[in-house]
Amino acid sequence: MKLDAKMLRYLSGDDFRVLTATEMGSKNHEVVPTSLIANIAQLNRSSISSIISNLAKNKLIARVQNASYDGYRLTYGGYDYLALKTFSKRDTVVSVGNQIGIGKESDIYIVCDGNGIQRVLKIQRLGRLSFRNIKQKRDYLRHRSTTSWLYMSRLAATKEYAFMKILYENGFPVPEPVDQNRHCVVMELLDAYPLCQIRDIEDPGALYSKLMDLIVRLACAGLIHGDFNEFNLLITNDDNPILIDFPQMVSTSHRNAEMYFNRDVECIRQFFRKRFRYESKVYPKFKRDTERQFSLDVQVAASGFTKRQQEELEKYLEEVQEQELSGSDTDSEGYHDDPQDYEDLSQDELHSTEEESQLVEQPQLTEQPDVVEQLDGLGASDEEKALNDDFDDVLEDLSLDNHSRRPHRDTQPKEPQLKLDPEEIRKRVQKTMRKPTVAGQKGRNQNKGKNKAKHLRNL
């Protein structure tokens, strides 16, 4: 789905209170009961009904069909608004501009911070296209089946920010990370072009050497990109490479590290062979050319991205790669088959590129975006700010009653209804269709007259 920030300025503190309550309830419920939303948000049912109706109308939350109880789930649109609200409080994002890129499972936008500096906002949307065959095999999410795609998107953004921050601090050619919240990452906007859009280059051999050196340099630091190809490389005007997109990065101590390393090398060799008619017999090998000099993978683990989160994300990415290698594509009904992803998408939005971060257009980097949705309306009054602060404290101290509730699943089969005997059904139908007799109607009229006479005597 596309990010539409127009409604963001019109949402009140109570609206975000309900969105946050829905997000918290989603930890234990696929469909969050309306009563639980009201309990967490600490709003009465009468006022919360109009708020939920407004949020559902704008597709920030949605009611799931055939659910056994009244409840809602958080959509990607609502998750976007919660992240943007946090960015606006931090003064990281105050305006949203044009979309400059789209991948299979991510969207990229130009944004501006409080100082008017243009940034790049990357929104992870895992599960948008590849879930159809994966959702039946995702045993690694059996304890987090609720809002699993939102959870996986948040993991991908957390991992990308952690790796980007460590690489940038150690002098690697990557964009400067600015901020991260939920499934969104804000980073530096660079004056560069994707390698996949470059048709001719003055010295392909020099660029080839720089890319191979970058692969070896990463491996010597204890990291392997895992998706090192023309779609995840930007080239500056000086023909210097810049590396982007890090959700698939792994450590050199990974069990499949050599396979990932050789695949990255082969991707570059194959691209240069096809695009620039350049082929070199000199290329690095994992066991021969990689000698660990640093342990950046250890620094990433120390930054807060845990080993368990890494394993969960790796299992998901492995399932995606298996699906791509098997040649199975998501059909027209695939996206709507998952209860979590119920937004209506156009064919343009569902168009899948060959790689995750392929850009669809290159904007003028020195100019402001043509269409800018100002988020200044988020500057709430003092009363609303105080209310939000109190709400944050309440959420921290609130003990949810989820322990007394069973986690609900909208896929839970309903109990079969008892079958009636055909003869019994026939008798019931005849009884309902039987017309009242004249004698019966006459008796009812007599009783009605007696009652009326009795009433008149009492008067």
Question: Do residues 236 and 242 touch, judged by C-beta distance below 8 A?
Answer: yes
Can you tell me whether residue 108 is helix, strand or coil? Answer: strand
Q: Tell me how far apart the alpha carbons of residues 62 and 445 are, in angstroms, rounded to a whole number.
A: 53
Give the span between the Cα atoms of 454 and 448, in whole angstroms. 10
Q: How far apart, in whole angstroms, are the C-alpha atoms of residue 240 and residue 224?
A: 20
How many Cα neighbours within 13 Å face the side chain of 238? Answer: 4
329 among known catalytic residues: no
Q: Report d(CA 236, CA 238) in Å as an integer.
A: 5
Token digits of residue 332: 């027209």
The burial of 218, by beta-carbon neighbours within 10 Å (0-12 exposed, 13-18 middle, 19 or more buried), is given as buried
Bridge partners for 111 per DSSP: 96, 119
CB atoms within 10 A of CB 326: 9
Neighbours of 68 (CB within 10 A): 11
Q: How far is it, in rounded angstroms, from Cα 373 to Cα 365?
A: 18
Q: Which residues pair with 273 in a beta bridge?
A: none
Cα 196 to chain centroid, rounded: 26
- Whether 361 and 348 have beta carbons less than 8 Å apart is answered as no
Cβ atoms of 235 and 198 closer than 8 Å: yes
By the 8 A CB rule, do 174 and 168 touch? Answer: yes
- The amino acid present at 452, given as its one-letter code, is K
Helices (H), 104-256: 131-134, 148-169, 204-220
End-to-end CA distance of the chain: 72
CA distances from 410 to 59, 223, 336, 402 (A): 19, 41, 15, 17
Q: What is the dihedral of CA 313, 314, 319, 321, to 10 degrees?
A: 120
Between the CA of residue 161 and those of 30, 250, 271, 349, what are the distances in Å?
27, 14, 28, 25
Question: Which of the following is catalytic: 227, 245, 264, 341?
Answer: 227
Give me the active site residues, please.
Answer: 227
